[in-house]
């Protein structure tokens, strides 16, 4: 039984439209706020997601857990944007245990931020349901199963489904028409932009795996506002059709010139947005009216929209969208900051907070939506439940910081804006206050129009230059970043390369075979002395940078060649050894002796094992709220970022150091064991939430106080650490602290250097104290002889010129001496100079009577410095200068005396 919309036994009332969406993605039912209701016979989002995974499990697919929204070991993209990203290696032909997979993948995209809350379907965070085949089944099965799931499992009316195919893909069209029996008038053939993946790849690239795709659309029914009438089809943007599933048939490898070479193993990559599917099944025409959003929207209304605070409909939708992305990004290890991923999360928080502030709120409030967001997702992602307090605290602190910035910078902007004379200057001002201080551009535009009476036209002219500056900055960032946004960047380093066999846990050397050589990321067959190379082996003892631990260095040796390896990294479990050929010629296929720098590795292991003890110490002394937010394990130091609301006190630092060093002294055994992930969790092993772990995990246990998931290299006993020393502590973000430390010889060297610096400091303080005593004594001597000094002055009528040079007198004391002389001689020009190890200086002071007659101390100083390469200045009554060449001080003083004499004569004094 189906409703008029084709929903299987669903509530199909006219309560699901959003006002703004009518403008871009027209919805022709009642444009009212929805009254959210999921009837007992409706499927929830959790049920729909599980039905999808269960269905493909029944088709012999391995159900794989969602990857983090921050791709592990993939520097090419900011965030996970598609379900296939975690299977890059399998798509490139390297099969690890399964050829069929199904996932519900957490994704985060920011390409369409301006469309969020405007259309019914654009989001920053969303879940992508996907089924994948790696050289196993192909088009027929992918199409059959997609149709079976939608029509038989979810019971969507077949009459409500349309499909598109690539215009040259006759095979897919034939399957839909002849096998699935879809009427030909509901099969639409589209071109390279819509139905080839990547879009327009044939013409524009990139090189790599690609192929045609077929999309499945749900038909909401004829839109009376559509001007195409009966000709409306899924290529129309009127809003009648919602794309719910994209089936990509990866069957080609694109090469230079747009050449499409058939892949030996053809793959299937499908993606179905959970939010869109749920909207269809729950009888809603906007994702925001489903149970994936409405609990959050209700929290917005109860937690934020109170008293006089009222949000517009779009503002409510934007906040509901953004909080989901914020929660999952932070939960997966992204800390709000000013760089790359962190800047995205910070912007989402700031933009959401700004909407509430613009509605009249004055305090943080977005953080209050975290519990409702967790409630929506806790069944599928239970790991976020225990992070509630940390999430709320971090978001609240970020909001507080933004509120303070807004409070300080917006008034400042209002003062500077009227001074800017051109659109270009005003555009630069927009850019600075948005990019540097984080003010949303919408707030800036609203301020100039509402508060500064700027016309819409002038604002648009300003925005032209603002957007120009933003694009230039984005281009610079893109050029300097590895994050190119293409999921198959660097494929040349991975093509046809098997997973590297890592033996470095137990061996520091190994015999291996050289598989590939790259120079400037281009594969070559040989390399000779002086070449900078990247080497891929079949087996390696070199640890590749991962989990905060830096990569190993060492040597690769053949019978005739030697390569110095300076770093080791990995891409999808392929280890890449970067270095320089020191001697000889090395060729692909050569047998290799790989040897890790043992001394450096030992230092790294000291720091890694110490990091685990450090985390235990922090949790013991500061509290169990401490959670790892990032780390660096290097040869000479370790760095550990963690959640904590305030600075560590000196007493706590002492306790932390003592805890670690007690373990070092005790010589606790470091146990490394591989086990099932569920067993590890049962044992209480800590995991870093930004990492994704497989079914088997490696657990490092130290004494009875530390158990952690960890794939890094470690010592056998804590006694090998030798010594642990904290070197610094500070804040890196709101609610995030960072400590740095050293171990072993590096700790000893640090302590020795600190002791040396302390000794030098004490010595300098002693010398400074002695100098002050000497200066004081010298001043008292001069003060006692002041009358004799005045007697040396030359008299000009009723005025005097006193010039005197001293040694080892501070400038401060010269000023005091000048003041004392002025008290005794009411009409005088005082010229004093001093020479010491610090340099040569002189001072000119004029009594008030002479100053009133136009004699200016600053003029005398400037005239002297022009002749003797000095710098200085001051006021008409007193000025001072330094002389570059101390041997010229006497001559400079004489020149000053000459100038003073001329000025007295000129004034007829």
- Report CA dihedral (339, 341, 342, 348) to the nearest 10 degrees: 120
618 close to 642: Cβ distance less than 8 angstroms: yes
Residue pLDDT, tens place only, 140-151:
999 999 999 999
Higher-scoring residue by pLDDT: 702, 873: 702
Q: Which of 44-58, 681-695, 722-736 has the lowest mean pLDDT?
A: 681-695
Q: What percent of the chain has pLDDT over 70?
A: 92
Whether residue 319 is predicted with pLDDT greater than 80 in this model: the reply is yes
pLDDT band at 750 (very low <50, low <70, confident <90, very high): very high
**Which tokens is 473 given?**
């900055």
pLDDT band at 7 (very low <50, low <70, confident <90, very high): very low
* Coil, strand or helix at 847: coil
Which are the contacts of 846, defined by CB distance < 8 A and separation ≥ 6?
829, 830, 855, 856, 857, 876, 877, 878
Whether residue 22 is predicted with pLDDT greater than 80 in this model: the reply is no
Taking the C-alpha atoms of residue 730 and residue 322, their distance in angstroms, rounded to an integer, is: 29
pLDDT score at 521 = 85
- Report CA dihedral (55, 56, 61, 67) to the nearest 10 degrees: -110
Residue pLDDT, tens place only, 262-310:
888 899 999 999 999 999 999 998 999 999 999 999 999 999 987 777 8
- Rounded (10°) angle between helices 274-281 and 45-58: 110
Most confident of 6-15, 759-768, 832-841: 759-768
Average pLDDT over the chain, rounded to an integer? 87
Taking the C-alpha atoms of residue 455 and residue 448, their distance in angstroms, rounded to an integer, is: 8
Residue pLDDT, tens place only, 591-629:
999 999 999 999 999 999 999 999 999 999 999 888 888
Higher-scoring residue by pLDDT: 498, 882: 882
65 close to 101: Cβ distance less than 8 angstroms: no
Selection from 64, 261, 241 nearest residue 162 by Cα = 241
Taking the C-alpha atoms of residue 43 and residue 51, their distance in angstroms, rounded to an integer, is: 10
Most confident of 113-127, 550-564, 723-737, 813-827: 550-564
Whether residue 136 is predicted with pLDDT greater than 50 in this model: the reply is yes
711 close to 619: Cβ distance less than 8 angstroms: no
215 close to 243: Cβ distance less than 8 angstroms: yes
HEC-encoded secondary structure of 631-652: EEECCCCEEEEEECCCCCCHHH
Taking the C-alpha atoms of residue 203 and residue 215, their distance in angstroms, rounded to an integer, is: 21
Higher-scoring residue by pLDDT: 732, 549: 549
Taken in order 650, 656, 660, 665, the sign of the CA dihedral is: positive
* Coil, strand or helix at 150: helix
Most confident of 318-332, 466-480, 691-705, 889-903: 318-332
Taking the C-alpha atoms of residue 512 and residue 743, their distance in angstroms, rounded to an integer, is: 33
pLDDT score at 547 = 87
pLDDT band at 337 (very low <50, low <70, confident <90, very high): confident
Whether residue 231 is predicted with pLDDT greater than 90 in this model: the reply is no
The gap between the terminal CA atoms of the chain, to the nearest Å, is 115
Q: Which helix (H) or strand (E) holds 693?
A: none
Residue pLDDT, tens place only, 517-533:
999 989 999 999 999 99
Instruction: Quote the DSSP letter at residue 310.
Output: -
Whether residue 904 is predicted with pLDDT greater than 60 in this model: the reply is yes
* Coil, strand or helix at 332: coil
Taking the C-alpha atoms of residue 153 and residue 151, their distance in angstroms, rounded to an integer, is: 6
786 close to 821: Cβ distance less than 8 angstroms: yes
State the average pLDDT over residues 395-411: 90
**Which tokens is 118 given?**
């405007």
Residue pLDDT, tens place only, 427-470:
998 998 888 888 888 888 888 888 887 888 888 988 999 999 98
pLDDT band at 33 (very low <50, low <70, confident <90, very high): very low
736 close to 394: Cβ distance less than 8 angstroms: yes
Higher-scoring residue by pLDDT: 390, 583: 583
625 close to 643: Cβ distance less than 8 angstroms: yes
553 close to 476: Cβ distance less than 8 angstroms: no
Q: Which of 304-308, 395-399, 422-426, 440-444 has the lowest mean pLDDT?
A: 304-308
Could you tell me where the DSSP H helices lie in 671-810? 677-682, 744-784, 786-791
Q: What percent of the chain has pLDDT over 90?
A: 53
428 close to 444: Cβ distance less than 8 angstroms: no
State the average pLDDT over residues 870-895: 90
Whether residue 235 is predicted with pLDDT greater than 70 in this model: the reply is yes
Whether residue 638 is predicted with pLDDT greater than 50 in this model: the reply is yes
Q: Which helix (H) or strand (E) holds 318?
A: helix 313-331
- Report CA dihedral (200, 204, 210, 215) to the nearest 10 degrees: -10
Selection from 295, 442, 429 nearest residue 359 by Cα = 442
Higher-scoring residue by pLDDT: 158, 206: 158
Residue pLDDT, tens place only, 828-871:
999 999 987 778 898 999 999 998 989 999 999 998 888 888 88
Q: Are strands 562-571 and 526-528 parallel, antiparallel or unpaired?
A: unpaired
pLDDT score at 15 = 32
CA–CA distances in Å: residue 434 to residues 358, 428, 488 = 16, 10, 33
**Which tokens is 457 given?**
């036209």
pLDDT score at 481 = 53
pLDDT score at 472 = 87
Q: Write phi, then psi, for 110 (nearest 5 degrees).
A: -125, 10
Which are the contacts of 13, defined by CB distance < 8 A and separation ≥ 6?
283
Taking the C-alpha atoms of residue 264 and residue 855, their distance in angstroms, rounded to an integer, is: 95
Whether residue 690 is predicted with pLDDT greater than 60 in this model: the reply is no
pLDDT score at 451 = 81
Whether residue 819 is predicted with pLDDT greater than 70 in this model: the reply is yes
How far does CA 218 lie from the centroid of its chain? 37
Taking the C-alpha atoms of residue 793 and residue 829, their distance in angstroms, rounded to an integer, is: 10
pLDDT band at 19 (very low <50, low <70, confident <90, very high): very low
């Amino acid at each position: 039984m189906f409703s008029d919309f084709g929903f299987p036994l669903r509530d199909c009332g006219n309560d699901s439209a959003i006002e703004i969406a009518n403008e871009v993605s027209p919805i022709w039912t009642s444009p009212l706020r929805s009254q959210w209701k999921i009837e007992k016979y409706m499927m929830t989002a959790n049920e729909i997601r599980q039905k999808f995974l269960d269905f493909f499990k029944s088709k012999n697919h391995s159900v794989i857990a969602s990857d983090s929204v921050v791709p592990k070991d993939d520097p090419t993209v900011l965030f996970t944007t598609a379900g296939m990203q975690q299977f890059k290696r399998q798509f490139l032909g390297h099969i690890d245990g399964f050829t069929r997979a199904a996932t519900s993948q957490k994704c985060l995209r920011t390409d369409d931020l301006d469309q969020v809350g405007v259309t019914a379907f654009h989001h920053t965070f969303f879940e992508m349901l996907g089924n994948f085949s790696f050289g196993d089944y192909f088009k027929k099965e992918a199409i059959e199963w997609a149709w079976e799931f939608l029509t038989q499992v979810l019971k969507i009316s077949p009459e409500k489904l349309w499909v598109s195919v690539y215009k040259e893909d006759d095979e897919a069209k034939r399957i839909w028409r002849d096998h699935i029996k879809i009427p030909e008038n509901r099969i639409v053939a589209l071109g390279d932009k819509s139905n080839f993946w990547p879009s327009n790849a044939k013409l524009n690239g990139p090189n790599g795996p690609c192929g045609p795709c077929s999309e499945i659309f749900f038909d909401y029914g004829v839109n009376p506002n559509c001007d195409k009438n009966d000709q409306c089809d899924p290529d129309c943007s009127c809003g009648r059709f919602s794309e719910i599933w994209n089936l990509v048939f990866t069957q080609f490898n694109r090469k230079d010139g747009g050449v499409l070479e058939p892949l030996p193993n053809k793959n299937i990559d499908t993606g179905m947005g959970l939010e869109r599917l749920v909207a269809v099944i729950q009888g809603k025409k906007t994702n925001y009216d489903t149970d994936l959003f409405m609990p959050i929207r209700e929290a917005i209304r109860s937690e934020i929209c109170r008293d006089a605070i009222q949000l517009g409909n779009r503002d409510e939708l934007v906040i509901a969208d953004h909080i989901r992305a914020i929660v999952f990004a932070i939960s997966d290890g992204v800390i709000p900051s000013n760089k790359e991923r962190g800047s995205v999360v910070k912007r989402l928080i700031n933009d959401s907070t700004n909407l509430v502030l613009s509605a009249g709120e004055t305090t943080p409030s977005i953080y209050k939506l975290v519990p409702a967001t967790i409630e929506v997702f806790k069944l599928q992602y239970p790991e976020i439940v225990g992070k509630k307090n940390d999430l709320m605290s971090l978001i609240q602190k970020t909001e507080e910081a933004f509120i303070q910035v807004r409070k300080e910078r917006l008034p400042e902007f209002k003062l500077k804006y009227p001074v800017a004379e051109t659109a270009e200057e005003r555009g630069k001002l927009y850019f600075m206050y948005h990019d540097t201080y984080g003010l949303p551009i919408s707030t800036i535009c609203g301020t100039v129009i509402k508060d500064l009476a700027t016309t819409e036209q002038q604002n648009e002219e300003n925005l032209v230059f603002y957007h120009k500056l933003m694009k230039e900055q984005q281009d610079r960032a893109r050029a300097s970043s590895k994050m190119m946004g293409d999921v198959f960047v660097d494929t040349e380093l991975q093509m046809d390369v098997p997973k590297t066999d890592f033996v470095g846990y137990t061996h520091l050397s190994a015999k291996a075979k050289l598989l590939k050589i790259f120079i400037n990321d281009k594969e070559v067959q040989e390399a000779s002395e002086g070449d900078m190379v990247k080497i891929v082996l079949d087996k390696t003892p070199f640890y590749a940078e991962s989990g905060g631990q830096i990569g190993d260095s060492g040597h690769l040796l053949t019978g005739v060649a030697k390569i110095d390896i300076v770093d080791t990294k990995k891409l999808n479990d392929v280890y890449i050894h970067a270095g320089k050929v020191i001697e000889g010629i090395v060729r692909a296929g050569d047998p290799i002796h790989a040897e890790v720098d043992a001394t450096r590795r030992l230092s790294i292991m000291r720091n890694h094992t110490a990091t685990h003890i450090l985390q235990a110490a922090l949790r013991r002394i500061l509290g169990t709220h401490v959670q790892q937010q990032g780390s660096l394990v290097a040869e000479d130091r370790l760095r550990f970022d963690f959640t904590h609301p305030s600075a560590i006190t000196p007493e706590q630092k002492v306790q932390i150091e003592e805890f670690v060093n007690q373990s070092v002294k005790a010589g606790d055994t470091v146990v490394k064991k591989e086990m099932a992930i569920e067993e590890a969790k049962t044992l209480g092993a800590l995991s870093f939430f930004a990492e994704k772990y497989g079914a088997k995990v490696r657990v490092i246990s130290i004494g009875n106080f530390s158990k952690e998931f960890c794939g890094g290299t470690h010592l056998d006993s804590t006694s090998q650490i030798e010594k642990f020393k904290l070197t610094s502590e500070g804040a890196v973000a709101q609610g995030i602290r960072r400590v740095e430390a050293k171990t072993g010889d590096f700790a000893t060297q640090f302590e020795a250097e600190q002791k040396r610096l302390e000794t030098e400091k004490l010595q300098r303080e002693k010398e400074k104290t002695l100098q002050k005593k000497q200066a004081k004594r010298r001043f008292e001597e001069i003060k006692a002889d002041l009358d004799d000094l005045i007697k040396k002055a030359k008299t000009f009528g009723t005025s005097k010129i006193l010039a005197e040079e001293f040694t080892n007198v501070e400038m401060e004391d010269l000023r005091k001496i000048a003041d004392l002389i002025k008290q005794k001689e009411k009409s005088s020009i005082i010229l004093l100079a001093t020479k010491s190890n610090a340099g040569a200086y002189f001072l000119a002071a004029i009594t008030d009577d002479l100053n009133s007659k136009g004699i200016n101390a600053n003029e005398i100083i400037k005239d002297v410095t022009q002749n003797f390469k000095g710098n200085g200045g001051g006021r008409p009554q007193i000025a001072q200068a330094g002389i570059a060449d101390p041997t010229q001080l006497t001559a400079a003083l004489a020149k000053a005396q000459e100038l003073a004499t001329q000025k007295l004569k000129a004034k007829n004094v």
